[in-house]
Each structure stands twice: as structure tokens, then as C-alpha cells.
Amino acid sequence: NVPLGTKVHVSAPMGSFVLHKNADRPALFLVGGIGITPIRSIIADAIYRKLPHNLMLLYSNRTVASAAFLADFEAWARENHAFIFIPTITDEQPKDWIHEVGQITEPMLRTHLVRLTSQKAGNPSPIAYIVGPPAFVSAMLPIAEGAGIDPDNIRTEEFAGY
């Protein structure tokens, strides 16, 4: 709604929601819907810079059509052995969908966490990033803790009102 030619001020990126530095600790991303926005940037940067972190993304959406950046994540997972991508759809069951169906649950998370933690010697506990609508973040916290993630190693970001 801003008229053409309007001057705007743009600031530098801000915030502290970034990938942890200790590459010995894997990164687990539990993301719902539009919460994927900052996580896409984090994962793209890690892959572009060839960081040694092991990364896993469980990405929940209601429909395939609402899953932003799906093709990017699928390509990155094919090209990078250190990135595991687990998308899930909750409100439909497409015939050609080869990924998970249903909400992220503790058993689903436990099943996939084995793949992430077995990639590093000593099976270190991951740093978990939980991002999405407030209800999603609230639902994922006990699931992550129940799957064995130390609450001190969980970082959250809520996306509300979009």
C-alpha cells in the first residue's frame, strides 16, 4: 500500500536464533508451517558453507500445497548426507506422498532421532529448535523432552498472527 518512490529504512539482520557453533552437537529442527522461514535460512547457510553439523528437519504442514520450500529441502537432503529431511502432512493423504503422514509424535521423533544421534561418536544430545505457531511450539516441547532432549538444549521461536 506504499506509493512508489516512498523512501524506507532497512536495518541489518537482528536476533539470536542461529545455528549453534559446536558442530559435535547435532541440530534438530521441529517446524510447523510458516515457522520454516528462519530455519530455511539456517539450513541453507550451513549447507552453502559446508558446516560440519549434522542436521535433521521434521517439518509439519497441513497440506502438501502449504509446505513452503519442500523442493529445496528434498534436494538438499539428496545432495548432503549430513542433512536428514522428514516432512509430514496432517490434513491429507496424497497418493504420491512418500513421506510421513500425521502430526509429529514422540514415537515418530524417537524413531528419527536415532538416525541423527548415531551420526556422531558418543551419540551427543542434539540442540533442538522448535519453531511455528504458538500451539505447535507448545505441543512440541513435551514431545521433544519425552524423546530425551534436555530442556536446556531446546530453543523456541513462535510465529503468531500471520
On the 0-12 / 13-18 / 19+ scale of CB atoms within 10 A, 23 is middle
Query: Does the reported pTM lie above 0.85?
Result: yes
Grid coordinates given for 99: 513421506
Where is pLDDT greater, at 35 or 15?
Answer: 35
Q: How does pLDDT run across 97-134, given as a tens digit for each residue?
A: 999 999 999 999 999 999 887 665 566 789 999 999 99
CB distance 41 to 34 below 8 Å: no
